[in-house]
Amino acid sequence: MGLFARTLGAENVLSIDDDFFHHGGHSLLGARLTNHVAVALDVRLTVRDIFEHPTPARLAAHISALKSAPAAKKARPALRRRTETERISS
């Protein structure tokens, strides 16, 4: 809740069920919240995650699910060099 309040600049105490967007949140503040979460909890979120889980309780549950997911699901696919044929046909 502290990350929500700090991002929103909220003077009032927020509860676990307070909606980020009902307290003045928008997509740019959502991006800022994802950065705060990444620094504090070492979890990479997207702005879409904030839209889909707009309360501290729902976002915490989502973060827990992400942290407990197998590493293979969290990893991005490895980058590979495209061949000359792929470059022409793409």
Distance from chain centroid for Cα 64:
12
pTM for the structure as a whole: 0.72
The answer to whether 44 and 60 have CB atoms below 8 angstroms apart is no
Tell me: the pLDDT tens digits for 25-83?
999 999 999 999 999 999 999 999 999 999 999 999 999 999 887 765 556 677 888 77
CATH of domain 2-73: 1.10.1200.10
- DSSP code at position 20: G
The pLDDT score that the predictor gives to residue 71 is 61
What are the extents of the domains in the chain? Answer: 2-73
Mean pLDDT of 1-20: 89
